[in-house]
Amino acid sequence: MLFRSEHSKLESFDKLQNGYEAIVNGHTIKSKKLILATHYPYFIFPLEFPLKSHIEVSYLGAKKVSKILDFSAINIDKPTISMRYHKDGENLYEIIVYNSFMSSNVSDIKKNFDELKKREELDYIWSNNDIMTNDFMPFIGSIKPGLYLATGYNTWGMTNGILAGRMIANMVLGKRDEYEDLFSLKRIINLSKILRFPVDVSASIISYIKGGKSCSDRVKYTTIDGVNVAIYKDELGIEHTVLNRCPHMKCGICFNEVEKTWDCMCHGSRFDLDGKCIEGPANYDIIYKKEC
């Protein structure tokens, strides 16, 4: 069974004696096997996955063009720049990816978008999250009997996602896959790769302590009736109030003035202007409801 989050959000799941019970849009679905391919795995014991990975935010732009080429390119230097063409119905676009940073650097988001805009005249701009693992290899495999995970594609999910599909199909059918050990979630990560670990952990701790406080001059952090909130005052003077901690692991949220979203600095959750969750791992909104 395939859950598409556009219409069916997996809210939680439990292990049964013979399979799993998933709560999707308030309904219960029972299955013998469950595959988690939700980008960042919200449902994994939080102290495990977040310490083996970090989020990188890339800055993207698209411009309308009159013709597209069967061509894409990526450089080998830093900052990473890549480009490709895309057809959407009658509309043709050139898409440019310019640079990426750890999500704990989101306070520079406006500066990063300005750099992108300096390069090209663009019709659209947006940012994207990728999950980077400590050893730059994806996590694909079984967590527990009947429970599978595919994530951590290190920006190469169109390629690794195909591999994950093949591997997990084999595992579900009880066949051994030749890459099972290589991408196992329980693999031993070599010492030099583990050196990445303190960087990821300290970035998360700094984000947690710092909260989003330095992200925007238009945001005020305060308490209302004992509830910690962040308030963004828009150009028309309208205030947008949200709860100021991310529901995933309580890190600080940062207001992204370019895309008008609240972005979590730890594992990439995003919320719209009024706090509706638009990207996980957080599975809940940060909408502030004033007590009557």
Ligand X SMILES: Cc1cc2nc3c(=O)[nH]c(=O)nc-3n(C[C@H](O)[C@H](O)[C@H](O)COP(=O)(O)OP(=O)(O)OC[C@H]3O[C@@H](n4cnc5c(N)ncnc54)[C@H](O)[C@@H]3O)c2cc1C
246 binds, among ligand FES, ligand X, none (CB under 5 to 8 A by kind): ligand FES
If one asks whether residue 248 binds ligand FES (CB under 6 A), the answer comes out as yes
CB of 237 to ligand X, least distance (A): 34
**Cα(99)–Cα(72) distance, rounded to whole angstroms?**
16
Burial 182-221 (b: 16+ CB within 10 A, else e): ebebeeeeeeeeeebeeebeebbeebbebbbeebbeebee
Q: Break the chain down into helix, strand, coil percent, rounded to 5.
A: 20, 40, 45
If one asks whether residue 165 binds ligand X (CB under 6 A), the answer comes out as no
Amino acid in the structure at residue 205: I
Stretch that binds ligand FES, among 90-98, 153-161, 231-239, 247-255 (CB under 6 A): 247-255
Burial 237-250 (b: 16+ CB within 10 A, else e): eeebbbbbbbbbbe
CB of 101 to ligand X, least distance (A): 15
CB neighbours of residue 45 within 10 Å:
9
Per-residue contact track with ligand FES, 261 to 280, x per CB under 6 A? ---x-xxxx-----------
If one asks whether residue 41 binds ligand FES (CB under 6 A), the answer comes out as no
If one asks whether residue 251 binds ligand FES (CB under 6 A), the answer comes out as yes
**Cα(82)–Cα(273) distance, rounded to whole angstroms?**
29
CB of 8 to ligand X, least distance (A): 6
173 binds, among ligand X, ligand FES, none (CB under 5 to 8 A by kind): none
152 binds, among ligand X, ligand FES, none (CB under 5 to 8 A by kind): none
Stretch that binds ligand X, among 32-40, 104-112, 167-175, 199-207 (CB under 6 A): 32-40
Write out the two tokens for 128.
């994207």
If one asks whether residue 128 binds ligand X (CB under 6 A), the answer comes out as yes
Residues that bind ligand FES (CB under 6 A): 246, 248-249, 251, 264, 266-269, 281-282
